Amino acid sequence: MLEEEKRGAGLTLWVDTAERALLASVVPEPESLPVDEAWLRERIAALGAGEMRYLPSAATILLSKFNAGAAVAALRIAERVDASLTLTISADAMTATLDIVPAQGGDPISKEAILRALAEKGIADGVDLDAINGAIAAGSASGVVVARGRPPVHGDDGWFESLLPEVRDRRPRVDESGRIDYRDLGEIVVVHAGDALILRHPATAGTPGMNLLGQTILAQPGKDVMFAANLGGVAIAQDNPNLLQAAITGQPVQVNGGAMVEPVFSVAGVGTASGNIDFDGSVVIKGDVAAGMTVRASGDIEVGGMVEAATLSAGGSIVVKGGVVGSLGRKEDTGHHIHCGASFSAAYVQQARIEAGDSIFIDDTAMQSELVAANHIVVGNKRRGHIIGGRAQALLSIKGKRLGSPNRVVTRFEIGVDPAIQRRAHELGKARDEKETQLLEVSKLLDFAAHHPERIRPEMLEKARATAASLGVAIAEIRAEEQALDKMIALAMQAAVIGEEAILEGVEVHFGSQRYRVVGEHGAGAI
């Protein structure tokens, strides 16, 4: 016999269809040469059984006995193994994932087997046939999502749509990142009775979902909005309870909870001829405001000309198309000032006192003035943007193109948390604690009534429920204001004084108890 023929002589391999296995037997022959595992694996592959699951321990016994010249009868050394699957449902029953252990010479997983496994777990809807087909084609799978539940679609919050794009908006405009809308405050717009102002879009209930087990998942309804009570100069449309209309002729102003219409008083100019003005609404002054005069308005004030050393006080915004020249620092300082609850805008200011409940915008120059704003002070739009001398105070930012003067005029900037805000936060915390204590006591009474209804008079129970509801609303309002203040305080910690072109010597920046004094001239930067 040839040497190759002698190798493995007496060792027989065959596939037993009934056993679904590869069997081996040995009839010792004297001239047989020894074999190793590599030779055995080659023989198995040559028989077309290479995909079967190889049994190493059985193969070791076979080789040991063959090489020792011992007989072997029908020893299983490889076997056909069908593919197997595992279907796992997530804890929330919203997804089913498939794992496939590939076949080893056996039958692959069929689509029918997977669908049957899904059905056995009660899953009929949300099956992803494409994912199943892909896993079958691959022959194996690990964590493949083959079924998904239908998540609920939560309801949308109600919202107000302004039907007048040019309407003035008195709602706070600082967003969560501290940015502000630098839009022009524009002209005072006039509407007439019956004009549509605000359309209320009610909250939606949402669409419930369903998990893979057929259980309903409730949708969270949106938070509704309602028109605020006591909105002046407006009325609900008779044919549409969601439409707010003007009831009088005047200026529309968007506020929290809808809009209001303020009467508008117009005058050519304010001086000795017109006298002082005190008006419940908005005031439009086409010309100038002379020194020594006073203009008060519950709404906005718009001045087409300039303002001398006069007092302007507005519940809303003040727009001065010209400049403001006050008497601050003069011997004859009259103490006149400008104050508004929203934003102030002017071309320039000089030796003036200005305080705004929101922000101050000056197009050209602020010189030797006192500027105090709750949020931002911005000097410089299309013009020079100089802040020279005086004092500027804002919670979030003070920005100009050139800060200070080459003559080293002291220019003081104060930024950061206003102590008044911290005091308000403390007051709110104290008020919330008191109301929560009251609510706790009322809740105890209601709990007692639930267990002993015969011992509480109906009128007392009704009063307790009304009190609990009222306290709940009050606590929610306090929490909302606390959250707003917390955000404001957090933003204030990032406050900055910004010079877009230069920061000159004489500039002082105060942040709480810290002070920074600029020495020399610097280019653009922030402090």
In the predicted model, is pLDDT for residue 184 greater than 90? Answer: no
SS3 at position 414: strand
Between 37-46 and 56-67, two packed helices, what is the crossing angle to 10 degrees? 110
* Rg, the chain, Cα only: 42
pLDDT tens track for 190-200: 888 999 999 99
Looking only at the bridges linking them, the beta strands covering 95-101 and 141-148 are: antiparallel
| Percentage of the residues of the chain whose pLDDT score is greater than 90 | 49
**469: enclosing H helix or E strand:** helix 458-492
Q: Which pLDDT score, from 0 to 100, does residue 131 have?
A: 94
pLDDT tens track for 256-311: 888 988 888 888 999 998 899 998 888 999 999 999 999 999 889 999 999 999 99
Distance CA 185, CA 180 (A): 13
Is pTM, for the whole model, over 0.85?
no
Distance CA 311, CA 292 (A): 7
Pure H helices in 47-99: 56-67
